[in-house]
Structure 1
Amino acid sequence: MKIDSHQHFWRYNQADYGWIGEQEQVLKRDFLPSDLAPILSSNQLDACVAVQARQSDSETQWLIELANDNSFIKAVVGWIDIAADTLSEQLAQYASHPVLKGFRHVIQDEPDANFMLRPEFIRGLKVLAKHDYCYDLLIFAKQLPQAIELVKSIPELPIVVDHIAKPEIAADIGFAQWQTYMQQIADCPNTMCKVSGMVTEADHQNWQAEDFQKYLAAVFDAFGPQRIMFGSDWPVCLLAAEYSQVKAIVEDFVKTNYPQQFAAIFGGNAQTFYRI
């Protein structure tokens, strides 16, 4: 099964999607399963993982409903108040929804640099592990030191780093430090990495495929091909590229450097991580 491990759905409104700015008009519309299905088909993909785009319980419920109505959505990564004292009780309401595989918090937008290291947040992540959920880690490259500490503190929780931790590809700065930190987080055996979200960290109008080669090489060196999964980050990727272009960047790299692991990177690893 060929799987896109990272994409989003939404019914656009300004209140819920305030992060979509005036320069991002292409995203100011609805993006639903009926929009994605033909794109997956034309790109020879069979299924997807729907990831939260709003930080609300209603988002999680809505994504579960979409998955129940669209069989190609094989997994949902929702949102939940991880630091809540009532987390176990909140999780109980989802026990009858096996398509819900994990959760994510938009840590990249938290003003507190140590947000993810708060005791109550770490406690909540340990609760997720006890309930057999996984976790998508959404951070900027500058947050990698805290992320490494976090990951080391919860070895029992499967964690995937979204968007290769968003290095500054457009400015092409900080590569060596990012590479070092990515190796350190990859040294934790409970981690995987999504090669996703790269085009939106590059120059939206002028990127070239070669801009991503050293980043891909560094991630593959750090994690190895059995711990990497392809994700489109559709529709956010449309800010800088069409779906087919995003796929081609990773596909060409894998076919050139890791052809025997193609099936794993474009599906098998996501199946394992999300228990699809």
Structure 2
Amino acid sequence: MRIDAHQHFWVYNPDEFDWIGESESVLKHDYLPATLEAELVTQGINGTVVVQARQSIVETQWLLSLAQKYPFIKGVVGWVDLMSPSLEKQLQGLQNAQALKGFRHVLQGESDPHFMLQSRFIDGLKVLHKYEYTYDLLIFATQLPQARQLIDKLPTHRIVIDHIAKPDIAKGENFNEWKADMAAIAENQNVYCKISGMVTEANHQHWQEADFTPYMDVIFSAFGPERVMFGSDWPVCQLAATYSEVIRIVERYVARLYPEFSQQVFGLNAQKFYRL
């Protein structure tokens, strides 16, 4: 089974999606399963993991309702307030939602880089682990030092780094720091990494496939092809590339350097991590 391990749906509303910039008009539309389904068929993708785009329990419930209607949605990564005193009760109320695999918080949007190191936040992550939910770590590369500290406190938790931690591919700045941090994080065998979100960190109009090779080299070397999974980041990827362009970047790289691991990168690793 071929899996896209990272995509989104939304009904566009400027108040709820204030992270979409003025110049990002391509994202200011509704993006729903019927739109994506035809693309998946064309690319031979059998299933997806849909990831939250709003920080609301309503978002989680909505994504779960979509998963009930569309069989290609194999997993949901929702949102829950990790610091809520009622967290455990909320998780207990979600136990029957078989599509719910994990949670995410938009840490890249937090002005305090140490937000993730608050004891209440970490305690919340430990509760997720108790109920066997995964955690998607959405950060900028500048937050990697804090992410390393966080992961050290959660040695047995299944965590995946979204979008290779968003290094500055367009300018190529701080590459060595990013590389060192990712290598250190990858030492924890429970941490995976999504090859996703790269095109939007590159020059949107003038990127070339070769721009991404050094970054994929680092990820595959650090995590190994057994802990890397492909994600399109659709529809956000459309700021810089089509769905087919995004998947081809990774397909050609894997075919060239890790051909025997194609099934893992494009499906089996996501199935194992999210228990799809």
The alignment's TM-score, normalised by the length of structure 1, stands at 0.99
Deviation at 1:177, TM superposition (A): 0.6
Give the aligned partner of residue 241 of structure 2: 241
Cα distance in 2 for partners of 1:98, 1:173 equals: 42
| Superimposed CA distance per residue, residues 144-176 of structure 1 (whole angstroms, 9 cap, x where no aligned partner) | 000011011011210000000000000111111
User: 83-92 or 112-121, which moves further after superposition?
Assistant: 83-92
Cα distance in 1 for partners of 2:97, 2:8 equals: 19
Cα distance in 2 for partners of 1:186, 1:273 equals: 15
Give the aligned partner of residue 18 of structure 1: 18
Cα distance in 1 for partners of 2:4, 2:245 equals: 14
Cα distance in 1 for partners of 2:169, 2:121 equals: 30
Give the aligned partner of residue 117 of structure 1: 117
Cα distance in 2 for partners of 1:149, 1:167 equals: 19
Does residue 90 of the first structure (1) align with residue 84 of the second (2)?
no
Give the aligned partner of residue 45 of structure 2: 45
Give the aligned partner of residue 3 of structure 1: 3
Q: Give, as a single letter, the amino acid of the residue that structure 2 aligns with 1:270.
A: A
Give the aligned partner of residue 205 of structure 1: 205
Cα distance in 1 for partners of 2:144, 2:38 equals: 36
Deviation at 1:138, TM superposition (A): 0.1
Deviation at 1:70, TM superposition (A): 0.2
Cα distance in 1 for partners of 2:82, 2:98 equals: 19
Matches within 5 A, 1:43-192: 43-192=43-192
| Superimposed CA distance per residue, residues 75-118 of structure 1 (whole angstroms, 9 cap, x where no aligned partner) | 00000001112110011111110100000000001011100000
Which runs of 5 or more structure 1 residues have no equivalent in the other structure? none
Q: Give, as a single letter, the amino acid of the residue that structure 2 aligns with 1:242.
A: T
% same residue: 55
Cα distance in 2 for partners of 1:92, 1:33 equals: 28
SS in 2 for 1:14: coil
Q: Give, as a single letter, the amino acid of the residue that structure 2 aligns with 1:33.
A: P
Give the aligned partner of residue 36 of structure 1: 36
- Aligned residue pairs, count: 276
Deviation at 1:199, TM superposition (A): 0.1
Which runs of 5 or more structure 2 residues have no equivalent in the other structure? none
Cα distance in 1 for partners of 2:273, 2:85 equals: 27
The alignment's TM-score, normalised by the length of structure 2, stands at 0.99
Deviation at 1:254, TM superposition (A): 0.3
Cα distance in 2 for partners of 1:156, 1:96 equals: 24
Cα distance in 1 for partners of 2:130, 2:234 equals: 31
Cα distance in 1 for partners of 2:50, 2:221 equals: 27
Cα distance in 2 for partners of 1:192, 1:140 equals: 16
Cα distance in 2 for partners of 1:200, 1:233 equals: 9
Give the aligned partner of residue 273 of structure 2: 273
| Superimposed CA distance per residue, residues 215-265 of structure 1 (whole angstroms, 9 cap, x where no aligned partner) | 000000000000000000000000000000000100000000000000000
| Superimposed CA distance per residue, residues 3-46 of structure 1 (whole angstroms, 9 cap, x where no aligned partner) | 00000000001011011111100000000000010001101110
Q: Give, as a single letter, the amino acid of the residue that structure 1 aligns with 2:10.
A: W
Deviation at 1:203, TM superposition (A): 0.1
Deviation at 1:190, TM superposition (A): 1.3
